Amino acid sequence: MAPATGVFVAALPLRGAFTSSHELLNAGRAMADALKEPLTAVLLGGHLSDQASELMERGADRVVIVECEALAKPNEELQAAALAQVFGGGAAKVLFPSTVNGRSLAARVSVLMKTGIATDVFEFAVEAGALKVKRAGYGGNIISEVTFSSQSCVMTLQAMVWPPAPRTAGKTGATDRVPFTPGATRTEFVAFEGGDSGEVDLASADIVVSGGRGVGGPDGFKVIRDLAKALGAAAGASRAAVDSGWIPYRYQVGLTGRTIRPKMYVACGISGQIQHLAGMSSAKTIVAVNPDPECPMMKAATLAVVGDLHELLPLIAAEVRKRKGA
Ligand SMILES: Cc1cc2nc3c(=O)[nH]c(=O)nc-3n(C[C@H](O)[C@H](O)[C@H](O)COP(=O)(O)OP(=O)(O)OC[C@H]3O[C@@H](n4cnc5c(N)ncnc54)[C@H](O)[C@@H]3O)c2cc1C
């Protein structure tokens, strides 16, 4: 295969889903167009029968397929070696998602490619042919600008900044298959054990019910969880609630927590400071419950309900259950 040139998206299935790859394809398409370079998706895995066509329908000009039984299980050493083999010494700008796996893999690939890396990128521009990116560092406390001086580089892109690339049925492109011979590894994938909480996942939920300092304490999250359960929603929280130790960090929404884009976000007892809004303001519908009609969340809300969450949420949950016939 010729040396790799252009923008590359690492399409890695996360427990069977390619959601983050679809966001990368959207950003990658815009980057490739700005650089006047092709966009290639690299598909790694064990059994990759029909996934290439969707990547092309979502914007890739070309799909490079590295199919190998050893890649069926997510071993980062092997994935990084396979990707580095594809990019070789070429001029590849490689995009990964800013997930735990994406970051780890991006670091390994940048070392193997002997090139620079920028993580948590949320904006890019092309100036005089050079790629310039903005990235968030130190939990969002600083924004730095990085200009890549070489033609090859590695980036991880923040989740939910670029929406998933739309699908154009029937759009085709080139496909290349690259053989891969796995070498010895020092790590072995044993098993994936998902959480057994039975809760709806915050990152992918259509509806999120979040609580802030206004819930008043750890027990205040009972009404939040109860409404979330009635709606089939995920529970979320503001940093004030997390920092108070009322709910674990994994529920935090915002600049230093999760960025989400649900169909509906119900903010209860959350004032709506900019760092919280950064994580949820692209929700289609925002419902706010707060006694203060002037707070930023009530101003940002599609539906602002003035009142005490402890009085209102149980009533809303009961009405939802009644309407659902539960
Ligand atoms: C670098 C940095 C990063 C940050 N990252 C994040 C982040 O990721 N996520 C995040 O959330 N914050 C983040 N913050 C913190 C952020 O600035 C706010 O401090 C935080 O969001 C406030 O949380 P809150 O709205 O729950 O609390 P408050 O601002 O104290 O608001 C509480 C709200 O509850 C209402 N209330 C009170 N009683 C009731 C009641 N009975 N019923 C209904 N409502 C009631 C009040 O009217 C008020 O509006 C960050 C800050 C910094 C500096």
* Burial class for 153, CB neighbours closer than 10 Å (0-12, 13-18, 19+): buried
113 Cα to the center of ligand 1, angstroms: 43
DSSP labels, 226-250: HHHHHHT-EEEE-HHHHHTTSS-GG
Whether 156 and 13 map to the same domain: the answer is: yes
Residue 15 belongs to domain spanning: 5-177
275 Cα to the center of ligand 1, angstroms: 9
Domain assignment of residue 219, yes or no? yes
Mean pLDDT of the chain: 91
Whether 142 and 252 map to the same domain: the answer is: no
Domain assignment of residue 268, yes or no? yes
CATH number of the CATH domain containing 22: 3.40.50.620
pLDDT per position as a tens digit, 68-86: 999 988 899 999 999 999 9
Instruction: Check pocket membership of 293 for ligand 1, CB cut-off 6 A.
Output: no
CATH number of the CATH domain containing 320: 3.40.50.1220
Instruction: Check pocket membership of 290 for ligand 1, CB cut-off 6 A.
Output: yes
pLDDT per position as a tens digit, 289-316: 999 999 999 999 999 999 999 999 999 9
Percent of the chain exceeding pLDDT 70 equals: 94
Distance of alpha carbon 171 from alpha carbon 55, whole angstroms:
10
Stretch 114-128: mean pLDDT: 94
Residue at which a domain ends, from 123, 155, 177: 177
Percent of the chain exceeding pLDDT 90 equals: 70
Whether 150 and 215 map to the same domain: the answer is: no
237 Cα to the center of ligand 1, angstroms: 9
Whether 223 and 91 map to the same domain: the answer is: no
Pocket test for ligand 1, best of 143, 202, 238 (most atoms within 8 A of CB): 238
Residue at which a domain ends, from 177, 195, 224: 177
Beta-strand relationship, 207-211 and 234-237: parallel
Contacts of 206 (CB under 8 A, 6+ apart): 232, 233, 262, 263, 264
Whether 68 and 113 map to the same domain: the answer is: yes
Dihedral pair phi/psi, residue 304, rounded to 5°:
-105, 115
Instruction: Check pocket membership of 167 for ligand 1, CB cut-off 6 A.
Output: no
Whether 94 and 211 map to the same domain: the answer is: no
**Confidence class of residue 141 from pLDDT cuts 50, 70 and 90?**
low
Q: What's the full length of the chain, in residues? A: 326
Distance of alpha carbon 95 from alpha carbon 98, whole angstroms:
9
Stretch 50-69: mean pLDDT: 92
Domain assignment of residue 187, yes or no? no
Whether 41 and 171 map to the same domain: the answer is: yes
Whether 99 and 244 map to the same domain: the answer is: no
Whether 15 and 102 map to the same domain: the answer is: yes
Stretch 220-225: mean pLDDT: 97
Domain assignment of residue 189, yes or no? no
Stretch 136-156: mean pLDDT: 86
Instruction: Check pocket membership of 140 for ligand 1, CB cut-off 6 A.
Output: yes
pLDDT per position as a tens digit, 172-207: 999 999 999 998 889 888 887 766 567 888 888 999
Domain assignment of residue 182, yes or no? no
Whether 145 and 257 map to the same domain: the answer is: no
Considering only residues 237 and 74, tell me which one the structure prediction assigns the higher pLDDT: 237
* CB hemisphere CA count around 25 (13 angstroms): 27
Stretch 92-105: mean pLDDT: 89
Whether 28 and 76 map to the same domain: the answer is: yes
Distance of alpha carbon 122 from alpha carbon 34, whole angstroms:
16
Q: Domain tally for the chain?
A: 2
Stretch 246-255: mean pLDDT: 92
User: How many Cβ atoms from other residues are within 10 Å of residue 111's Cβ?
Assistant: 13
Whether 124 and 236 map to the same domain: the answer is: no
